[in-house]
Amino acid sequence: MSSSVTRTYVLQATQPGDFTIGAATARVGQGTIQTAPIKIKVVKSENAAPNSGLLDQGQKRDANLFCTISLSKSKAYVGEQIIATYTLYSRYSSIESSEYDMPKLDGFWAEEIDLGEPGFNSTATVNGIGYRVAILKKQVLFPQRSGTLRLSPMTLNFRVNRSFFNNGTAVRITSNSAEVIAMELPAKPADHIGAVGELKMDVEVANTSVKANEAIDLTVKFSGRANLKLIDAPKLNFPTDFESYDPKITDRITVNGGGMNGSREFQYLVIPRHEGDYNVPSITFSYFDPSTGKFKQLSSAPLDFHIAQGDGSAALVTRPSKTDVKQLDRDIRFIRTGDLALEPKNHHLFASWPYVAGLAAPALAFVAFFGWFRRRQKLLGDLQGLRRRGADRVAKQRLKEAEAALKANDRIAFYTAIGRSLEGFFADKFNLGVAEVHAAMIAEKLGHIEGGSLAQQYTALIAECEMARFAPFENKARQQIYDEAALLIRRIVDQP
Amino acid sequence: MRMSLILFALFALFTKVSADVPNSASAAEDAYSKGEYANALAIFDSLDRTYSSASLLFNIGNCHMKLGDIPHAVLYYERAIRIQPGADDIQSNLDYARSKVVDRVSELPALTLGSLWDRLRGGKDLDQWARRSLWACLFTFLMAAGFVIVRKHLLRRTLLVAAVIGFTTMVLSIGLAAYRLSEVTDRSQAIIMQPKVDVRGEPRDGSTTVFVLHEGTKVSVLQEQNGWFEVKLSSGSVGWAAPGSLEVI
């Protein structure tokens, strides 16, 4: 079971400054419990009360009832807060408002200050005349452009001194107009986010070591007294492997006599897509401080993220689609290092003397080799080889006719051709007439070779061809006859 | 002894012999890596006076590029790519440097058969085709000698074909080597070196300005007279550029 007891205290600050309310202690049963001390910063209320000049003018317009517009500043930077107060001074005891026309706020961003129930809450004396004073309206104005910005006069319609018997008198009053000279900000730094005032930045990261594809919450909080509602979301430069979404904006802003105070929080959802160690350089933003007239830069500590390999489940759900490698910038390729392949200047191999020599050398060597080879062949007497090649050619030539007949399958022509070839070859070889070719002559000329067997075979083949021309049958195949004839011719040619 | 010397000389002819890389080259590389481009440039420039190398010219171009001297960077990249056509890194940097040149002169489509041709005729150095022709010559005559010696019919025929192929290769290589030499020793193109050059109608100061060129633009040089260069753009415009306003690639 739990229960609570609440004590409420209302405090009013009498002067600006930093105050600390000490810890409250309470005895509960046996022990003591304690609260944390509370720090309070009391800011000075903007002095927006009308000055005597304005009051004099107002009194001159109507000594019984007049209104003023007063500004806390007549000169301000663009975006700087100005408090405008609309005040009514009255000597009438009974007054009813009917219609009023508030000034047009051209070139301003305005925020109403909540005053609670309006009414004649105070009194003032102007030039010896006492007035009841009501603050009709209070606004925080932020000039949006430079130049002279004008608040047109407000017009109010009242009915005064109305009673049961009297319908009262209609009174129409007009206030003064007001002017603000809005000054342009000096050259803006790139990281200016539009803030003018006094700011503090807190960067908070819930977890710097997560798994890939798990979300990281990153909060950037601006707090202080400034045009908080006009602060843009700061751009964070995350590594390209981080996916970041538009921030969620949470405002805790109060508008009161001190102007616009509080905080604006940008909550970023960042999802790292790949594991690794990433270093995000410190996040910096600039705001304009009107009290010094200069930009001030806020920066966070650098952030180090350690991203572990994501587990399959998370990756399965949010695996990013394949993306192209982004070309961030261009630069020239790096120099060549190591072997630069240096060569003497203006030296070319082509058409140089060594080159010509290099081309000529193999050619000359070949010619020399060819000559030497031929001579050596002759010297070694490799006539056998030469003669064999010659004999082949001779046999083939002699038997050309027979070969044709063989192919034409003409029996008589074949045997005639073989016989004639053998006789012709023998006659040519030994310089004889065809008539002189007979067995005796063959024996005489070829008898010394291979013990006479060549002569015998030669004669026998001629006789066989003679017979086969007329006989009705053949003893051997024609191809065999042809080969025998060729062999015989070759053997004769081969003789040294 | 003398025989071995001759053999060694022949071997040297047939293979590429690089000069020893002086220590200063690595000093320049160090300087460049540290971002001291001016120091690196001074060393590379001194090497450039005695040696010729596509890599060296490329490195000098890089130094000029880093120092923001675009016309010199273009000049040296052009010189480098001429020695080594088709080299990716040189072409890439040259394109980058050209993108910073003010004048847009439509480049005539070069008479090339694309990057394959560039790579074929280029290579690491100028003399590669000369060396190839020497090898082809040696091969051809070795095959011819083999043809003379060998008796076997099939082998003889193979050797004959090889010799014919070798001879064709040799002739083509000699042709390519001659072409490459003419390409590299060509002095007909130049880069504008001054920020703004008035190209005039006549080779004298004060004559009509025909057109204006800016640094880094590539022009053809037709002739030279008293230091003035007659230049021609790829668009066909012709005029005279003052002495010192351009540098021949």
The CB density around residue B136, as the number of other CB atoms within 10 Å, is: 23
> Residue B17 falls within a domain, yes or no?
no
User: What CATH number is associated with residue B98?
Assistant: 1.25.40.10
Q: Which residue does chain A place closest to B97, by CA atoms?
A: A332
Structural domain boundaries in chain A: 52-183, 194-316, 384-494
Q: Which of B202, B191, B198 is nearest to B230 (CA)?
A: B202
pLDDT at A333: 86
* Domain presence at residue B19: no
CA angle A189, A195, A196 (to 5 degrees): 100
Mutation site for A-interface testing, chosen from B7, B13, B30, B128 by largest number of A Cβ within 10 Å = B13
Give kind and range of the element (H or E) at residue A193: strand A192-205
Residue A316 has what pLDDT? 44
B28 shares its domain with B95: yes
What ipTM is given for this predicted complex?
Answer: 0.76
Give A-chain residues touching B56 at CB under 8 angstroms.
340, 342
Rounded CA-CA distance B117/B130 in Å is 17
Domain match, B175 and B197 both = no
Quote the pLDDT of residue A317: 46
List the structure tokens of B193: 């070196």
Per-residue pLDDT of chain A (496 residues; tens, 9 = 90+): 788 888 888 777 778 788 888 888 888 888 888 888 888 877 766 655 677 777 888 888 888 888 888 888 888 888 888 888 888 888 887 787 777 778 888 888 888 887 777 778 778 888 888 888 888 888 888 888 888 888 888 888 888 877 777 777 888 888 888 888 888 888 888 778 778 888 888 888 878 788 888 888 888 888 888 888 888 887 777 777 788 888 888 888 888 777 788 888 888 888 888 788 888 778 888 888 888 888 888 888 888 888 887 765 444 444 555 666 777 777 888 888 877 777 777 777 887 888 888 889 989 999 999 999 888 877 776 555 555 566 667 777 778 888 888 888 888 888 888 888 888 888 877 777 778 888 888 888 888 777 778 888 888 888 888 888 887 777 778 888 888 888 888 787 777 6
Give me the pLDDT at residue B63, please.
93
- DSSP per-residue letters across A239-277: -TTEEE-PPEEEEEEEEETTEEEEEEEEEEEEEE-S-EE
Q: What pLDDT digit, counting tens, does each position of B26-38 carry? A: 888 889 999 899 9
Helix (H) or strand (E) holding A204: strand A192-205
Domain shared by B154 and B170, yes or no: yes
Q: Which helix (H) or strand (E) holds B95?
A: helix B88-99
Tell the residue number behind the tokens 């280029």, with chain if given: B122
Residue B191's beta-bridge partner residues?
B218, B247
| CA dihedral sign, ordered B100, B101, B106, B109 | negative
CATH of the domain at B238: 2.30.30.40
Judge: B125–A333 Cβ closer than 8 Å, yes or no: no
Task: Report pLDDT for A315.
Answer: 45
B84: pLDDT strictly greater than 90 = no
> How far does the CA of residue B221 sit from the closest CA of chain A (Å)?
21
Compute φ and ψ for B153, nearest 5 degrees.
-60, -50
Q: Which of A184, A283, A287 is nearest to A230 (CA)?
A: A287
Q: How does pLDDT run across B92-150, given as a tens digit for each residue?
A: 898 888 888 887 766 655 555 566 777 777 666 677 888 889 999 999 999 999 998 88
Q: Does position B233 have pLDDT exceeding 50, yes or no?
A: yes
Give Cα separations from A32 to A6, A38, A343, B190 (angstroms). Answer: 17, 19, 92, 93
Distance to chain B for A387, nearest Cα, Å: 15
Say whether A358 and B134 touch across the interface (CB within 8 A): yes
**More confident: A316 or B91:** B91
B54 assigned to some structural domain: yes
Taking the CA atoms of chain B, what radius of gyration do you get in angstroms?
23
In a domain? residue B13: no
Q: What does the alpha-carbon distance between residue A413 and residue A340 come to, in Å, rounded to a whole number?
A: 82
- Classify strands A17-21 and A38-42 as parallel, antiparallel or unpaired: antiparallel
User: Which is more confidently placed, A96 or B208?
Assistant: B208
Longest dimension (CA), chain B: 81
Report how many domains make up chain B: 3
CATH number of A52-183: 2.60.40.1930
- In A355-374, the residues whose Cβ lies within 8 Å of chain B are 355, 357-359, 361-363, 365-366, 369-370, 373
Contacts of B18 (CB under 8 A, 6+ apart): A339, A341, A342, A343
Could you tell me which CATH number the domain at A194-316 has? 2.60.40
Structural domain including B31 reads 24-107
Q: Determine phi and psi for A476, rounding to 5 degrees.
A: -125, 165
B103 and B30, same domain (yes or no): yes
Is residue B10 very low, low, confident or very high in pLDDT (cuts 50, 70, 90)?
low
Question: Are A287 and A201 a contacting pair, CB within 8 Å?
Answer: no
